[in-house]
Amino acid sequence: MDASSPAAGLLPALPEDWERCLAVAAHPDDLEYGTAAAVARWTAQGKRVTYLLATRGEAGIDALAPERAGPLREEEERAGAREVGVEDLVFLDHPDGVVHDALRLRREIALEVRRLRPEVLLTGAFDVRMVGGMVNQADHRVVGLAALDAARDAGNRWVFPEQLADGLEPWGGVRFVAVAGSPHPTHGVDVTGEPLERGVRSLEAHAEYTAGLGAAGPEPRPFLTWMARASGPALGVEAALLLDVHVLRPDGPPPWVA
């Protein structure tokens, strides 16, 4: 992967020579915890970003029954997405908290990859431990790994071949999968200034969900500002989102070709 040459000891910037991104998450609000600031940067550049949510987050508010929480959280997600320039959202209706059918999920994500033909896929960490050592939530692990696998599945016409009958040709154009929240970042995105501000507003749109968390729910502005500024030095900027990049289509010829 060719990126701008970083100074010694700094992570390289994520390449931005692409036009279409599919962002895959388990729940409404997952993308708003830092990733949305990078999305704001990209949509301001004219890039198209689509959100794909595995669940509607119906199990996320203890004081609200799922049939009430699900529609509320979907609306908050749509409002938060608009704050960073995203109008296209897809919800897959997997059960919140107990996402378990990884094969179905891979099939559905591959379908959207074939339909939307993104060059970049963005998702969340699937490690057992997230950055900072916190244990990762089960849905995050299932969805993140399924997204990585589906990005490759979408390019193989003999994987989920029934989709060909619906007119969806294979799409092997995903260059890389960028994973947020990983304890082992390889690249970063500068979100200093307006992108971070829009990212804050995106999380603020999840007011009912955040209130439902009680004391466990961080205040969006100080939390996101602290997190982005803590990540900035790794990239040599004021504020950053750090990502672990998994390359699917290397840039340039193989290293063994002269």
DSSP the chain: ---PPPPTTSPPBPP---SEEEEEESSTTTTTTTHHHHHHHHHHTT-EEEEEES---TTS-TTS-HHHHHHHHHHHHHHHHHHTT--EEEE--PPTT----HHHHHHHHHHHHHHH--SEEEEE--SSB-TTSPBPPHHHHHHHHHHHHHHHHTT-TTSSGGGGGGT--------EEEEET-SS--EEEE-TTHHHHHHHHHHHT-HHHHHHTGGGSPPHHHHHHHHHHHHHHHHTSSSEEEEEEEESS-SSS-TT--
Q: Which residues of 28-66 are buried (b: 16+ CB within 10 A; e: fewer)?
A: bbbbbbbbbbbbbbbbeeebbbbbbbbbbbbbbbeebeb
pLDDT at 165 over 80: yes
pLDDT at 31 over 80: yes
pLDDT at 159: 97
pLDDT at 22 over 90: yes
pLDDT at 252: 61
pLDDT at 9: 83
pLDDT at 1: 61
Tokens of 245: 């990049």
The predicted-structure confidence for 121-156, as pLDDT tens digits, reads as follows: 999 999 998 887 888 999 999 999 999 999 999 999
> Can you list the domains of the chain with their CATH numbers?
20-247 (3.40.50.10320)
pLDDT at 92: 97
What pLDDT band is residue 170 in, cutting at 50, 70 and 90? very high
Tokens of 98: 């107990």
What pLDDT band is residue 7 in, cutting at 50, 70 and 90? confident
pLDDT at 160: 97
pLDDT at 254: 58
pLDDT at 214: 80
For the ranges 100-109, 110-119, 174-183, 244-253, the lowest mean pLDDT is seen at 244-253
**Of all residues in the chain, what percent carry a pLDDT higher than 70?**
95
What pLDDT band is residue 39 in, cutting at 50, 70 and 90? very high
pLDDT at 2: 52
